[in-house]
Amino acid sequence: MRHTYLGRTGLKVSRLVLGTFNFGWSTEPEQAFEIMDAALEHGITVFDTADSYGKWAGRGHHGWAEEIIGAWFALGGGRRESVIICSKVYEAVDNPFEGLNAERGTSAYKIKRHIDGTLRRLGTDHVELYQQHHVEYHAPWEELFGAYEDLVSSGKTVYVGSSNFGARHLCWARAAADKRGFLGFVSEQHKYSLAFRLPELEVLPACEEMGMGVILWSPLASGLLGGHALDGRGGERSRESGGHLDAAARERLERYHRLCAEVGETPANVALAWTLANPAVTAPIIGPRTPDQVSDAVRAAEIELDSDVLARLDELFPGPGGPAPQADAW
């Protein structure tokens, strides 16, 4: 497994991140243990979760994914010490004692309460990266960064990051952190794939210029690029939302599969390798359902796509034309 730094920090991370969104509601704890063991065996040292993970489509309960990771840590064998754990705060959670504050949003109140719940479920005294799951439009940065500073100074987290932020919000956050003399968000977790290239306009250039790490979610476009969409076995999120292929999308995907066959790699690994070829990207998140899928995905970190293949992928899945404003101005 290859490694890199998380943005401008000195933290070294694996070039693939294990995602735990499916843990609990879709992936049974025993199988989740096997997946985490396989990830660690293959050198994937970064695990991503959230206080809301474990419930989806009416199944499971919030926090279950963290509970499963915590139970795996409790098995010992250096598991906790070997893993960089990333969690998040913002989404609604099942907590009747918090009333309205259990709904979506971020506040100093929620940050301080939810980190304690996360640590309790994980069975640890800290996380390496605590991410704000979405932009908070009401609370001021003075409130939020005051709370995040307290978490860092108390040792409950080492770094803080953002997720699903626009470029302007990342810039405002950096300005607010600089004003306080605080490191601020060191990474952004964002949706990005061959099938969704909009972040190339603003988000990726902003992160690269500010030295922020970029962790990608849905790098296989909810299973569209995973190799099974043509036979109706796409990702769980895609199926739940009624995802389907029209004639044009099917034809493009068929061409993509033919290109992957020429390259001699699976569609999923070509899609992952394509994201890793972008210098702004730190690591994509993978969501394997079996240990074998972990083994298959590890190959992606070793693939180097040549310029001809990258150009052909650009033709199949055209981006926005480069970073803004050059993409739409002069």
Of 104, 110, 101, 102, the C-alpha closest to 130 is 110
Partners of residue 140 on adjacent β-strands: none
Inter-residue contact 19 to 27 (CB < 8 Å)? no
Catalytic residue among 5, 53, 90, 109: 53
Q: At residue 193, what are phi and psi to the nearest 5 degrees?
A: -165, 175
DSSP 8-state class, residue 66 = H
Query: Which string of b and e fits 13-41 if b means at least 16 CB within 10 Å?
Result: bbbbbbbbbbbbbbbeeebbbbbbbbbbe
Residue 307 CB contacts under 8 Å (≥ 6 apart), including other chains: none
- Report the DSSP pairing between strands 213-217 and 283-286: parallel
Is 53 annotated as catalytic? yes
H or E segment at 48?
A: strand 46-48
Tell me which residues are annotated as active site: 53
